[in-house]
Structure 1
Amino acid sequence: MRKRRGVYNKWAKTIVLNRKASTRSHVPHTLLFSERSLKSMLRLYQMVYVKPNAGSHGDGVMRVEHKNGTYSYQLGAKKRSNLTWAQLVASLTHKIQGTKYIIQRGIHLSRFKNRIYDLRVEVQLNEYGRWQITGMLARVAQQGMAVTNGAQGADVYPFRSVIASHGGTELVRKMASQLNSMCIECAHQLKAQYPFLTELGFDIALDQQLHPWILEVNTTPEAIPFKKLPTLKMYKRILHLRKLNARRT
């Protein structure tokens, strides 16, 4: 199968999703990284994520906080605390080393089994050339980790079991419907900008009020997380459509 074309510029995708008010309400406030933008974002939200503009698998993602007059940040399992502003900026600048980064409003994630989690929603063009959700799952972070990526040790759970833990089957139905509308609308927006797209993987945070936030849209998502679910139905469907779409392009 030929290599899939993707869009790896997080900032560019954020701009596309912010064009419509209906999708903008699900996109966390995001700025390009600079000392000035970091200061303003921490003043607004107290907690932010600093991410490589073109990174993947959660590599290089840092959770930065301002609390009780001091600063801290976490990269992987490593934390640095009680920093002054000057120490924080110096340390982050050293980590970034001139690479383009973005700053995203931090979302205080909902929890499952007392661990933070997010959702992966897979959207693909189906046999009729229409966008369709073909997979949904939850990624539950290891205790003490700031990111939920599988590469960082997160566990995979069925979407239904995690959402039902907050409010039963009615909440599962309502959340699935909301995510379907949101992700399909975003897929149309992104395809209008990048016509070659046939598959998207949405990383979605639910805050403590269960409002969905789009943390990132992967344009060449991996199917492997769906292989870890109790049934392979979603995994097989994803691979089937991936092959079909590869033949079309």
Structure 2
Amino acid sequence: MAGRELASKLLKTAALLSDSRVAGYIPRTREYSAAGLLAMLGRYGNVVIKPVVGGGGYGVIKVFRDHRGYGFTYMHNTRIYRDFASMRYALDRFKVKRRYLIQQGISLARISGRPIDYRVKVVKNGDHWEFRSMVGRVARPGLFVTNLCKGGTMLSCRQGLSRSLPRVRTSAKKAEMRRLTLVCIELLERHFPGIGELGFDYAVDQRGKIWILEVNTRPK
């Protein structure tokens, strides 16, 4: 059941933030502005900016601040500038012509230096929801986005967790993702009646904390 499509990442994030059971799993997120970008870089050191509407890693850019100055990475291309104004001017030329959001950067766990995240897909069947898949996605070498359409590699959720975080109990992390997914379904159905399938993009950081990166209403 495909059901309703809801494209805006900001609307879905706002719905999830409305519940204390979920809010702690959401990276700090705000609509893009130059002042907001500067403030979030000052607080977190690195952020991801991405179109409010879109998927497949399209237009996603990592922006950072370090001892060299300010910089950003888009696909294989990294550029560094001495000051924020110069970086922002160059960044505006890389952004696609869409409305953007800024999301707190998460230090993803890695396999052989490659970031990994997780896609959990659920589908509504009648009056109940079914888990269809839980998989890990490892970024193509040299990239920070994990999307399969950008050359990412798929492996089982268990393999991904055990290889990226060998000291973490994989069964506990999988169970936590499942519990969190069910709470999010409840919230999203309440806010957006008619949804029929969802794809949750989860990160597990280098300390083992789970984060919800985004939710898709037409997951591929």
TM-score by length of 2: 0.94
Q: In the alignment, which residue of structure 2 is the partner of 1:124? A: 123
Question: Secondary structure at 2:171's aligned position in 1?
Answer: helix
Bigger Cα Rg: 1
Deviations 1:15-58 (A, max 9, x none): 00000111011110001000110011001100000000001100
Deviations 1:87-137 (A, max 9, x none): 11112223336521000000010012331110001122235x222322100
Deviations 1:139-191 (A, max 9, x none): 000122021111111000111112123347x8121111100110110111111
Q: In the alignment, which residue of structure 1 is the partner of 2:109? A: 110
8 Å contact from structure 1 (residues 29, 105) kept in 2: yes
Aligned mates of 1:160, 1:21 — CA distance in 2: 28
Tell me how far 1:69 sits from its aligned partner: 5.2
Q: Does 1:202 align with 2:177?
A: no
8 Å contact from structure 1 (residues 18, 27) kept in 2: yes
Question: Secondary structure at 1:196's aligned position in 2?
Answer: coil
Q: In the alignment, which residue of structure 2 is the partner of 1:164? A: 162
TM-score by length of 1: 0.83
Identity %: 31
Counterparts of residues 49-198 of structure 1 (less than 5 Å): 49-68=48-67, 70-96=69-95, 99-127=98-126, 129-165=127-163, 166-167=165-166, 171-198=169-196
Instruction: Please list every run of at least 4 consecutive aligned residues from structure 1 whose deviation after the TM superposition is greater than 6 angstroms.
Output: none
Larger fraction in strand: 2
Question: Secondary structure at 1:145's aligned position in 2?
Answer: coil
Aligned mates of 2:184, 2:96 — CA distance in 1: 32
Aligned residues between the structures: 219
Q: In the alignment, which residue of structure 2 is the partner of 1:247? A: none
Aligned mates of 2:37, 2:81 — CA distance in 1: 17
Q: Which amino acid aligns with 2:174?
A: A
Aligned mates of 2:82, 2:55 — CA distance in 1: 27
8 Å contact from structure 2 (residues 32, 100) kept in 1: yes
Once the two structures are overlaid, the 10-residue window that deviates more, 36-45 or 67-76, is 67-76
Aligned mates of 2:82, 2:150 — CA distance in 1: 25
Q: Does 1:6 align with 2:23?
A: no
8 Å contact from structure 1 (residues 122, 133) kept in 2: yes
8 Å contact from structure 1 (residues 117, 148) kept in 2: yes
8 Å contact from structure 2 (residues 76, 143) kept in 1: yes
In structure 1, stretches of 5+ residues that fail to align are 223-249
Deviations 1:177-223 (A, max 9, x none): 1001101101111111111111110111110111111111010001x
CA RMSD of aligned residues (A): 1.7
8 Å contact from structure 1 (residues 139, 156) kept in 2: yes
8 Å contact from structure 1 (residues 123, 184) kept in 2: no
Q: In the alignment, which residue of structure 2 is the partner of 1:217? A: 215
8 Å contact from structure 1 (residues 132, 184) kept in 2: no
Tell me how far 1:4 sits from its aligned partner: 5.0
